[in-house]
Chain A
Amino acid sequence: MNTNNIEERLWNFIDGSSSADEKTLIEKLLESDAEWKARYQDLLEVNNMLHSSEIDAPSMRFTKNVMEEISKLHIAPATKSYINKKIIWGISFFFITLIVGFLIYGFGQMDWTAGQETTLSKNINKVDFSKFDISKFFNNDWVNAFMMVNVILGLVLLDNYLTNKRKEFRKEKTPF
């Protein structure tokens, strides 16, 4: 067994994080094996020294300095209270609509008759696509209208965001 492995197991034993079986095994090893015992004594000494190590103290003015600084500040509202879920949902809706729109447009542009005939395409060909007049819904006017709606939605979201920012700024300027 290598040194690192012994020390790792001994540290776990000292920290009390060994399993019950491991603990029993190590206790037996400590009684019977001189190497394990010597290493254990070494690590225990280091552990005790670490527990007794000192902590440093800052200057005497520390608390006063901190209190002077915080007297000029206000506690910020909790994060949850200023994250508006409506805005998050609005942004999600905006992007989902955008993606769906592009997908519809992309599929609308595809030439479904191109390529070789396969079993799947034969089956698809049985369906009379001529009955579906996609061009009626998906001409340039529809695409333009769709983009316009997205732009308006984007501007509404930006306006909401800026209004909230302005409100927060005014609130911060108002004293307690």
Chain B
Amino acid sequence: MSTGLNDNEIISKVLSGDYQAYAGLVNRYQNYVFTLTLRMIKSREDAEEVAQDVFIKAYKYLADFKGASKFTTWLYTIVNNTCISFLRKKKLDIHSLDNEKVFETAANQDSGMNANMIEQKSKRAMVNNAISLLNPDDAQIITLFYKAEQSLEETAQILGIETNAAKVRLFRARTRLKEKMEMHYAEEVKNLN
């Protein structure tokens, strides 16, 4: 497997006919792509299917990647578009903040989360669960910024918005995340400090 090669070298190999080299990119970014899709589409099965679709699309249109941005920025743009298309097609509940179901879902996840917390006592698990309580847009921008190693400018490019708009969206997402943590996991946060 071409793990020693950088993204652009792997892409060159794939474009010159060595399609097996693409496995290197899939292995490298599958967790990031899957996490992003899972944060937007709450079901694991659907998220995995969409993540596979993302890699298939990326392969099909690989010739369009000119290296003007990082490969990950280009790839996460495909993630964003594919997730939006999927959500539109399936007309899934996208957990908008004014939707009453959010609170219902939050309560359900909260109870599951408490049991999980007792077992894991993990700060990381708590953060992940708190993120899953956010609406997909908030969860997505937090994941892109903190986990997918994208700068604010790159995040804005992926989401198709201005950098300032991304900054505001990130600020709001973090504020809402903090509120969720204080609301649902106040005790755990206190114990972890």
Give the complex CA separation of A17 and B131 in angstroms. 24
Whether B59 and A77, one on each chain, are in contact in the complex, defined by CB atoms closer than 8 angstroms, is: no
Whether B30 and A63, one on each chain, are in contact in the complex, defined by CB atoms closer than 8 angstroms, is: yes
Decide: A53 near B147, CB < 8 A? Known: A45-B193, A46-B174, A62-B26.
yes
Question: What's the least CB distance linking B57 to chain A, in Å?
Answer: 10
Question: Which of B16-24, B77-85, B104-112 is found at the contact surface with chain A?
Answer: B16-24
Q: Which residues of B contact A56 (CB under 8 A)?
A: 31, 34-35, 38, 128
Give the complex CA separation of A145 and B126 in angstroms. 76
Size class of the B contact interface (CB-based, 8 Å): 35 or more
Give the complex CA separation of A75 and B11 in angstroms. 12
Whether B52 and A65, one on each chain, are in contact in the complex, defined by CB atoms closer than 8 angstroms, is: yes
Q: Interface residues of A: mostly helix, strand, loop or mixed?
A: helix
A17's contact among B22, B48, B147, B152, by CB below 8 Å, is which?
B152
Size class of the A contact interface (CB-based, 8 Å): 35 or more
Q: Which residues of B contact A107 (CB under 8 A)?
A: none
Which among A8, A67, A70 has the greatest number of chain B C-beta atoms within 10 A? Answer: A70
A8's contact among B22, B38, B125, B171, by CB below 8 Å, is which?
B171
Docked complex: B2-22 residues within 8 A CB-CB of A: 14-15, 17, 19-20, 22
Docked complex: B37-85 residues within 8 A CB-CB of A: 38, 47-48, 51-52, 55-56, 59-64
Q: Which residues of A contact B22 (CB under 8 A)?
A: 66-67, 70
Question: What's the least CB distance linking B147 to chain A, in Å?
Answer: 5
Q: Does A131 lie at the interface of the complex (its beta carbon under 8 Å from any beta carbon of B)?
A: no
A76's contact among B38, B61, B124, B189, by CB below 8 Å, is which?
B61
Give the complex CA separation of A79 and B65 in angstroms. 10
Interface string of B109-147 (1 = CB under 8 A from A): 000000000000001111110010000000000100011
Q: Does B167 lie at the interface of the complex (its beta carbon under 8 Å from any beta carbon of A)?
A: yes
The chain A residue sitting closest to B62, CB to CB, is A75
Whether B32 and A71, one on each chain, are in contact in the complex, defined by CB atoms closer than 8 angstroms, is: no
Question: What's the least CB distance linking A63 to chain B, in Å?
Answer: 5
Q: Please list 27 pairs of residues, one from A and one from B, whose beta carbons are closer than 8 Å in the complex, sorted by A's number.
A: A4-B175, A8-B171, A11-B170, A11-B174, A17-B152, A42-B178, A43-B178, A46-B174, A46-B177, A49-B126, A54-B124, A56-B31, A62-B48, A63-B30, A66-B22, A66-B23, A66-B52, A66-B59, A70-B22, A70-B59, A70-B60, A71-B19, A75-B15, A75-B61, A76-B60, A78-B64, A81-B63
